[in-house]
Amino acid sequence: MFTLEKKQLAFLVNDDLFAETMLIRLQKKGFYTNIFYTSVSLRFAMEHSKSYPDVLVIDMDCFDFADLPVRRDTNMPKIFALSNRSDMDTRLKAAQANVSDFVLKPIDADQLTEKIVDSFGVRNKVVYDVLIVDDDPFTLRLLQKLLETENIRVRFIENPVKVLEELEHHKPDLILLDYYMPYANGLDINRVIRQIYSISEIPILFMTGSKDPKILSDIRKESHFEPILKPVSPGGLVERVLDIII
């Protein structure tokens, strides 16, 4: 199965914050990423490397395609051109450089990340792990199906007492925790987990079918996130999960 694990990406930009933001997102997607702030350093790296990067992102407002070395013994990378300008001359230069995509500023980091991933025609890289703690088999199957469509690996526990045993072997990126369960409610399980893991280490998102104001208030006091109300809205659930783990 083809994945992005060994794909190499190079940035030629002069914006530190943007470059670091993209680096974090693309590393999570499986890219090995390098950032260059001068065309000289990029040229040196490409001329002395055994292979070109698979993707090159270049800021056309600061650098010129003429600065890029040309090697006849290998394929050129996919090129993503960034620019403030949308005039014919700028777009023509991009077309003549055979860019894969022309992206107009301001840049949305998430959208650019998706464009780069989509350029390889694959979405099978599993990046995140979610642990679901819920005693309802139907809910478990539903949530598993919804999240796996987003390439999220799902583990689940029906017995909340076993949560620490599970965490000893697998540390998820997020826990979806039901409130009503046998042996102990979700708040009790949350308190046990927080004795070991902080919110930054493992965020916990509560689920509940209760509309009791006191229960909802108690959940909000102990959680950093608004609880998901059952029955679960498929689109809403996926959006909430991705907002937290990405």
pLDDT tens track, the chain, 246 positions: 233 445 788 888 888 888 888 888 887 777 888 888 888 888 888 777 766 788 889 999 998 877 776 554 456 688 899 999 989 899 998 888 888 889 999 998 888 988 888 887 655 455 789 999 999 999 998 998 888 877 788 999 999 999 999 998 889 999 999 999 988 999 999 999 999 999 889 999 999 999 999 999 999 998 889 999 998 888 788 889 988 987
Length of the chain: 246
Q: Is 131 exposed, middle or buried (0-12, 13-18, 19+ CB in 10 A)?
A: buried
Give residue for tokens 């030629």.
Answer: 12
What's the topology of domain 8-118? Rossmann fold (3.40.50)
- Decide if 73 contacts 46 (C-beta within 8 A): no
Q: What is the DSSP string of 90-117?
A: HHHHHHHTT-SEEEESSP-HHHHHHHHH
Distance CA 237, CA 234 (A): 5
Which amino acid does the sequence have at 208? T
pLDDT at residue 2, as a whole number: 32
Give residue for tokens 């998820």.
Answer: 172
pLDDT at residue 74, as a whole number: 52
| Cβ neighbours of residue 141 closer than 8 Å, sequence gap 6 or more | none
Nearest of 177, 190, 170, 173 to residue 130 by alpha carbon: 173
* CATH class label, 128-245: alpha beta
Q: How far from 44 is each of 40, 74, 77, 82, CA to CA, in Å? A: 6, 16, 16, 22
Count Cα atoms within 13 angstroms, Cβ side, for 245: 27
pLDDT at residue 6, as a whole number: 58
Which amino acid does the sequence have at 39? S
pLDDT at residue 14, as a whole number: 85
In the chain, CATH 3.40.50.2300 sits at 8-118, 128-245
Global confidence as pTM: 0.52
